[in-house]
Structure formats: C-alpha cells, structure tokens
C-alpha cells in the first residue's frame, strides 16, 4: 500500500481526518511523513513533535503500520448533529437508535453556561448509515 491507497482505505474505514495528516505536517494529529527518505509516524501537539511511533525506509511498511494504528487504536467520532435545542438533539439520538446506530451527546457552553449547544456524535462506520438516512451531516437547527 502507498499513501494514496492509505488515504482511500482510511476513508473507507470512516477514520476522521481530525485525527491524522498524511504527507503534510499538521498540529494535534498523528502524522505520516517522509523525512529524508525515512517514513515516520508521530504525534504532534501544539507544533511539537513527539518521538516517532514508527520509522521505516519502506513506504508500504509505514502505510500498513499507520493504517493498523489508526483503525485499531483510535476511536473515530463524527458530528451528526449540532443544535441550540436540547429536544432536537434528543430527537436525533432517538432516531439514530431506532435505526440501530449508537450515538452519544457532548454538550458545550457555546456562549457561556446560559447559551449551550447540544452535539450528537456517531462512532466509526456508523457515520455512513447516518448519512444514508439524513444526507449531509451535521444536522443543524440554526444557520
């Protein structure tokens, strides 16, 4: 597998792009880069690279390691709904449940404690089922 095939396979597994970067340095993600002929996988946080989790001269080995790591060690959550209304978030979660899709809520104090937002997430490949049912995600109750 090469990096083009890796990207395609990660998409097929519903891996969230928020967790990784391939070929380009980003921040707060797992990176796979070729640095002077050596493929390195490492985590970078706030612009500081951690020690490599894997190094190899082989693109194929590096891609296989990266794929396995990202699909077995990292949970990939996808935002399915973002609402001002708690009731709409609860209704979405119930509709997902009716279709056999596990979800969870993560509420945030968007504009302070008096202005919350209600977020509904699905995990992994369930995002494909949710898109089949609802179309484009996330569903919102505001513009």
In angstroms, the CA 93 to CA 96 distance is 5
Looking at the structure, tell me whether residues 11 and 66 fall in a common domain.
Answer: yes
Number of domains in the chain: 2
pLDDT at 114 over 60: yes
Within its chain, how far is the Cα of 15 from the centroid? Answer: 5
Range of the domain at 42: 3-72
Pair (66, 84) in one structural domain: no
* Among 44, 72, 100, residue at a domain's last position: 72
Q: Using one digit for the tens of pLDDT, what is the confidence trace for 26-51?
A: 999 999 999 999 999 999 999 899 99
Shared-domain flag, residues 58 and 13? yes
Contact between 28 and 42 (Cβ < 8 Å) = no
**Are 75 and 16 spatial neighbours (Cβ–Cβ below 8 Å)?**
no
Q: Could you tell me if 132 and 87 lie in one domain?
A: yes
What is the reported pTM?
0.88
CA angle, 131 then 133 then 94, to 5°: 105
């Amino acid at each position: 597998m090469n990096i083009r095939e890796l990207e395609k396979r990660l998409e097929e597994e519903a891996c969230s792009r928020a967790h990784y970067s391939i070929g380009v340095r980003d921040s707060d993600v797992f990176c796979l880069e070729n640095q002077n002929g050596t493929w390195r996988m490492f985590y970078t946080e706030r612009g500081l690279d951690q020690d490599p989790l894997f190094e190899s001269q082989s693109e194929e080995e590096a891609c296989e390691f990266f794929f396995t790591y990202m699909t077995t060690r990292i949970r990939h959550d996808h935002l399915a709904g973002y609402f001002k209304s708690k009731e709409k978030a609860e209704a979405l979660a119930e509709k997902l449940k009716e279709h056999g899709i596990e979800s969870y809520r993560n509420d945030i104090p968007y504009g302070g404690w008096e202005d919350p937002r209600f977020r509904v997430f699905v995990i992994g490949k369930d995002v494909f089922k949710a898109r089949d049912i609802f179309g484009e995600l996330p569903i919102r109750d505001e513009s």
